[in-house]
Structure formats: structure tokens, C-alpha cells
Amino acid sequence: MTGRVARAAPYALLLGVAGVLYSFALRIDTSAAAGRIGPDVWPRAVLVLLAVVCVYELAKSFLAADARSAGGMLQDYLDASIAADEAQSAARPSVRRLALGMGATLAYVLLVDVLGFFLATAAYLAVFVAIGGYRRWGVIAACALGGSLAMVVVFMKIVYVSLPLGAGPFRALSISLLALLGVR
Amino acid sequence: MEVLSLLAAGFVQVLTPVNLAVLAIGLVLGLVVAVLPGLTLVMGVVLALPFTYAMHVTPAIILLTAMYVTGTYGGAFTAILFRVPGEPIDVPLLWDGYTMARKGMPAQALGWTLFAAFCGGMLSACALAGLAAPVARVALTLSTPEYFAIIFFGLTSVVSLGGGSISNALISLCLGLLISTVGVDETYGAERFAFGVPMLTDGIEYLLVMVGAYGIGEVFTRLYQGYGAASLGRLGGLRTELPRLREIGRVKAALARSAFVGLVVGVVPGAGATIASFVAYGAEGQYGKRRKELGTGIAEGIVAPQTAATSSVGGAMIPLLTMGIPGSGATAIILGAFLLHGVQPGPQIFTNPEQSQIAYAVIASMFIGVLGMCLLGYFAIKLLVRVLDFPEAVISAFVVMFCFVGAFAARNNLSDLYVIAAFGVLGFLFERWRFPIAPLVLGSILGPLAENTFMTTMISFDNDWTVFFTRPVAGAVMAAAILAFVVPVVRDLWRRRKKTAAD
């Protein structure tokens, strides 16, 4: 039973999302359509299709003896290659590593505007590589600082992308660095 | 004759120092990306996008196209030599390519791959050069019902041609289509699913969905699984041995069949190099002379998937250049690069002398690119394979950075980083729950086109939906689309019945 609940969970979640979005779709302003097909029709049709597929999969999860879904044209080949991959793979999945990686990524997105591109990127590169399990600290430092500096030069000096400079003292630091690199 | 003179002018453009240098960089980067497991060719093209912002349109498209072409070939080295497919495209190469290498013939296996990539690439470039202008002329005569039917065919193809559950692919497609409806609708200007958030009112760019779901999502998946260390050992005797003419004569049927399959699959929106590679291998298993020996390390098992994969590139470029419809992730990025440079691909570019020069320069770059790719593959294989020694954690960290910079630079908007991070998490969850990502991405790319053509048709034809079935071209394409969707379902039902009867 637990297996069936676990299998059904994503579909139940998506069905809920479809329901909520459908209620929002009913509130789309259709006054400009004036008797013609309105801007709500397309999203509502898509939501109905989404809900129907979710209901079908939910019903199958709990009622059918074989909950396997019909596969696409390449199903047989995919099954064979997945089996081969799994037999070969020596990887060890880790939720902790994933959570740390996602946390670091979110922190980067939040802090890049404050720390500026150079500092935030150097810190992120170092932290992410360490989370990934690589432990040669000299290489990590070189990759983080060298990589960040190279990206600043390439994107700001050659490609002319206006990357975030940061705020307060970090902004001053970024500007000094750019002056040093000859980026105007 | 006109095509030949335009193509000649295209060659002249490509042979300028800047374009040639950009092409060479694209070839090397494409091969490196393809060799590295975890970096797919679509990701490679995504990562190269920010570098094209400061370029002119022609070198920008040449760079991305070169990466696209080489992305179908580079992964073959590691698949054959180390049983590490650099791309999903290369999985069929494990069955015969790796087996041939294990029989003590790695140089021959690499030779067959190079030969297949060369023939597939050249044939598809010829087809692209020959078909682009006529298809564009036909496209000019099509109306919105036909355009909608073609897009609908692409959407059903991506659902039915995939490897996973059709229900999951449909859900993924619906989510992609819904993402494309966020923001202000183009027909009436009504706000949809923006919830008063300014960031959402502008809509969600498909590039963000792609970069997040493909790039960041893949990095999260690899991080969760753990990075393995590929040990290459000694590569002293590594070389490529080209097949002899006599041997080539024996595989000419497989070559022709696979090049055709690749081209056709490439043209179908929603299908790409991976599907072409699997379908060609499957076709070889059904119709090949030596079908019973497939999987034992025969040349046909290498030639079929590799020829089809490289040949699909030219096919995929046809709907992009002639109709502005991107049929795959890579062509969607190329479309994005075109639009960023103010050029709208479609039939009009073949009627505009200035823009047709761009199109033919891109086509000419495919010829030179395929040749360059094979030369690099032949002479620089040891160096390319050494890329595998690079720590994957470092590569992943840089992939995230390039994704962020690419997404940020397109609109200079920091809030886009939140969007791609969110799609990164979604991409990871999709991978965990076995929901395919391709329909999500294609839904977000083709969604606006599908909705616009559907709405325009409905308004023009007084809400008469039968028009999609009563007009000859639209009706035929819609029938093909429905068939593409129904066949796998019927096939599954038939198998179940057979199994139940056997039990």
C-alpha cells in the first residue's frame, strides 16, 4: 500500500495544482473577447487535460493490478539502457549533499546582488566543489578565484555583460577590481 | 542554380577569419561537452549562448550550430572506449561500438563512428541546402491552421516518441504549455497566472525553463547521485582506423537507411538526435541484412545510430530556418540567438537577400563543420578523451555559473536567477519521479506558437474547429499527429492482452 501511495503522490499534488490554477483561470478577464474565443480557453483546456491524466494515473495507482503506464516508442531501449546503467553505477545518492548544493545555489541567488559577482561567484565555486566531494583545497581555491576572475574578464570586458557589482563595501571592492582589470 | 550561388556566397562568408575561428571554437567546445558525461549537447549550446551576445548574428549562429553538430559525435569516443556514453544519443553505441572495442578492435570501432558521422553530417547538410528554399516557398503558402497542425504534431511526437511513460510525458507537456501561458496574453492582453507579481507579468522565457530544467536540474541530479571518478588508465595506443572501401560497400544500405531516418526524425518537431539514434538502431534490427548479429559488435550497429544522430541536425534545422519552428532543445537555443540578434527565422528570411545570406552561411558552416569535426576526431582523440580526467564537481560548479550568467545576461534581470533556480529544482524532481524534461521544455517553447495559431484560426474561421481537419494539409498533419499519439497506446494494450493470454 505504501508503494501505491508513494506512486500516487506526485499525481495527487499535480491534480491539486491543476484545480487551484483552474479556479484562477476562471477569473481571467475575457471581456475583450466579445463573443469570440477568449484568453481563458487555452489554459483551461490544458488544465483539464492535465487533471484528466492525473486522475487516470491516480485511479490506476490504487485500482489496477499493474500500475505500469504505456511507454513511448523507445521504452524497450530505455529499459535496457537503464538496467545496464544501474548494473554499472557505483554512485551513492545523498540527500544531504543535494540539500547543501541546493542551499548554496539559493544563497548565491540571494547574495549575488549584495556581494557582487566576483566575490559571490568565487565563494559559490569553492563551496559547491567542496560539497561535490572534491578535497584538493589548492585546486579548489585556484578554480574559485581564477574561475571567477576569468568570468569577470570574459563577460564584462569581452561580451559586455553588466554583471552585479554588489552593495556598500562590496561594490567598492568590485569597482576597484574592475579598474585593475581595465574594465570600464 | 540559385541555391548553388547562394551556398557559394555562404562558403565565402564562413571562410572569413572571424567566422572560421568561431567555427573552430564551436567544434572544440562541442566535442569537449559531448565527451563529458552529464553535459548534454543541449546544455553545451545553452552554455555557449551568453558568449554570442556580443557577436554578429552569423558567427553567433555558426558557433551554436557547430556545437550542435559535434555534440552528436563527441560522446561516441567515451561510449566505445570506456562504456561511458557522453550523451543519451550514444547509448546505442554501447551495444555494438563498445562490444567491438572489447573484441580488441577499438580503432576500427572509432573509424566506423567517424565515417558514419561524416556521411550523416554531409548528407544532412546537402539535404538542408537543397530543401531549405523549396520548403520555405511551401511554408509561405501555409496558413494558421496548417501551422497549428505542424506544431500539434511536434507536441504529440515529443510525448509518443520518448522513452518513459506516456502519461508522465503528457503531464510534463501540459506543465510546459501552462508555463507559456503565464503573463499577458498576446491576442487580448489579458493577464494570466501572474498573481500580481511583476516578474510573472512579463511571462516566463523558455530559455529560463531550458537553462533551469536541463542545466541546473542535471547538476542537482548528478550531485545527488554522487560524482564518480572515471579512470582512463593508459591511452598510449589510442587511434582511429578508417574502414576500407570494400568494407564500406557492405554497410551502404545501413548508411542510406540511417541517414534518411535521421533526416526525417530531425525534421519532426519534438524528435531529435537521441530519438534518431535509437530509431535507426531499431530499424537496423528490423530491416538490416545482419540484424541477427546486431549487438555482437558489428559495423552496422555503429553506423546506424551515429549516421542518424548526425544526420538529424540538418533535418532539425529545416523547420527552424524555413518556418521558425524549433523542433529540439538545441534548435530552440539557436532560435533564441536569432531573435536576440533581431532576426526572425521563417520563410521570409529566404525572400530577404540579406537574411538569406545568413541562412546559407549557416548551411555552408555545416559542411565545413562536419569536415573539421572529423579531422579533430581523428587527430585529437587522445586529448579530447583526457577531458574525462577533470573533476566533475568542478565542471558542475562552472555549469551552474554559466547557466546563471547566460540567463542573467539575456535580460539583465536578477529575478531570472530565481526562476532558473526554481526550474532547476523542478528538473531534479522530474528526474526523480521519471517525468521526462523534453516535453516540459518543448511545451514552453511551442506553447505560445501553438496558442497563437490556434486562437488566430478560431477567430478567422468563426470558432470552427473542424477547419483543422477539413483543409488538406492541416488534416493530413493532424491525422499523423493523432496516429503518432495513438500507436504507442494501442501497441501497449496489445502487448498487455498478449501477456494476459500467455499467462
Cβ pair B188:A38 closer than 8 A: yes
Cβ pair A98:B216 closer than 8 A: no
Where is average pLDDT lowest: B14-23, B299-308, B435-444?
B435-444
The set of residues, in sequence order, having a beta carbon less than 8 Å from that of B182 and lying 6+ positions away, is B192, B193, B194, B200, B203, B204
Distance from CA of B246 to the nearest CA of A (A): 31
Determine how many CB atoms are found less than 10 A away from the CB of residue A96: 9
Query: Which of chain A's residues have a Cβ under 8 Å away from the Cβ of B47?
Result: none
| DSSP result, A43-62 | HHHHHHHHHHHHHHHHHHHH
Query: Which of chain B's residues have a Cβ under 8 Å away from the Cβ of A84?
Result: 94
State the pLDDT at residue B352.
86
% of chain A at pLDDT higher than 90: 62
Distance from CA of B5 to the nearest CA of A (A): 34
Across residues B409-426, what is the average pLDDT? 90
Query: Which of chain B's residues have a Cβ under 8 Å away from the Cβ of A11?
Result: 171
State the pLDDT at residue A84.
53
Q: Give the mutation candidate from A27, A79, A109, A111 for the B interface (greatest B CB count, under 10 A).
A: A109
Cβ pair B226:A91 closer than 8 A: yes
Cβ pair A124:B408 closer than 8 A: no
Distance CA B203, CA B185 (A): 9
User: What is the band of A155 on the pLDDT scale with cuts at 50, 70, 90?
Assistant: confident
Query: Which of chain B's residues have a Cβ under 8 Å away from the Cβ of A104?
Result: none
State the pLDDT at residue B23.
97
Q: Give the mutation candidate from B25, B182, B188 for the A interface (greatest A CB count, under 10 A).
A: B188
Cβ pair A49:B161 closer than 8 A: no
* A96-111 residue pLDDT tens: 999 999 999 999 999 9
Distance from CA of B165 to the nearest CA of A (A): 4
The set of residues, in sequence order, having a beta carbon less than 8 Å from that of B143 and lying 6+ positions away, is B457, B471
Residue type, position A140, single letter? I
Q: Give the mutation candidate from A31, A73, A97, A163 for the B interface (greatest B CB count, under 10 A).
A: A73
Cβ contact A157:A177 at 8 Å: no
The set of residues, in sequence order, having a beta carbon less than 8 Å from that of B9 and lying 6+ positions away, is B357, B360, B361
Residue B458 has its nearest CB partner, among A37, A43, A162, at A37
H helix runs in B349-503, sequence order: 353-379, 381-385, 392-411, 415-432, 437-460, 467-470, 472-502
Distance from CA of B47 to the nearest CA of A (A): 13
Query: Which of chain B's residues have a Cβ under 8 Å away from the Cβ of A142?
Result: none
The C-alpha cell of A66 is what? 499493474
Across residues B136-146, what is the average pLDDT? 92
Higher pLDDT, B345 or A67: B345
User: What is the band of B232 on the pLDDT scale with cuts at 50, 70, 90?
Assistant: low
Query: Which of chain A's residues have a Cβ under 8 Å away from the Cβ of B177?
Result: 46
* A37-96 residue pLDDT tens: 899 999 999 999 999 999 999 998 888 766 666 666 555 655 555 555 554 555 678 999
Radius of gyration of chain B (CA): 22
Where is average pLDDT lowest: A61-75, B34-48, B391-405?
A61-75
State the pLDDT at residue B375.
95
* Packing angle, helices B106-141 and B353-379, rounded to 10: 170
Residue A72 has its nearest CB partner, among B185, B187, B488, at B488
State the pLDDT at residue B172.
94
User: What is the band of B233 on the pLDDT scale with cuts at 50, 70, 90?
Assistant: low
User: Is the predicted pLDDT of residue B294 greater than 70, yes or no?
Assistant: yes
% of chain B at pLDDT higher than 90: 50
Across residues B472-501, what is the average pLDDT? 85
Across residues B197-202, what is the average pLDDT? 88
State the pLDDT at residue B211.
86
State the pLDDT at residue A83.
53
The C-alpha cell of A130 is what? 567542496
B161-175: burial string, b at 16+ Cβ within 10 Å, e else: bbbbbbbbbbbbbbb
State the pLDDT at residue A1.
64
The C-alpha cell of B315 is what? 533535418
User: Is the predicted pLDDT of residue B257 greater than 80, yes or no?
Assistant: yes
State the pLDDT at residue B39.
75
Query: Which residue of chain B is at minimal alpha-carbon distance from A97?
Result: B224
User: Is the predicted pLDDT of residue A140 greater than 80, yes or no?
Assistant: yes
Q: Which residues pair with B183 in a beta bridge?
A: B192
Distance CA B457, CA B449 (A): 12
Match 468563426 to its residue by C-alpha cell.
B462
Torsion of CA A116, A119, A122, A123, to 10 degrees: -100
State the pLDDT at residue B390.
81
Query: Which of chain B's residues have a Cβ under 8 Å away from the Cβ of A30?
Result: 188, 190
- Give the number of A-B residue pairs with CB atoms closer than 8 Å: 226
Distance from CA of A80 to the nearest CA of B (A): 10
Cβ contact B356:B345 at 8 Å: no
Cβ pair A105:B421 closer than 8 A: yes
State the pLDDT at residue B229.
56
Cβ pair A161:B50 closer than 8 A: yes
Distance CA A150, CA A147 (A): 5
The set of residues, in sequence order, having a beta carbon less than 8 Å from that of B385 and lying 6+ positions away, is B35, B77, B78, B81, B232, B235, B238
Q: Which residues pair with B192 in a beta bridge?
A: B183
Query: Which residue of chain A is at minimal alpha-carbon distance from B228?
Result: A91
Cβ pair A24:B418 closer than 8 A: no
* B364-376 residue pLDDT tens: 999 999 999 999 9
Cβ pair A109:B171 closer than 8 A: no
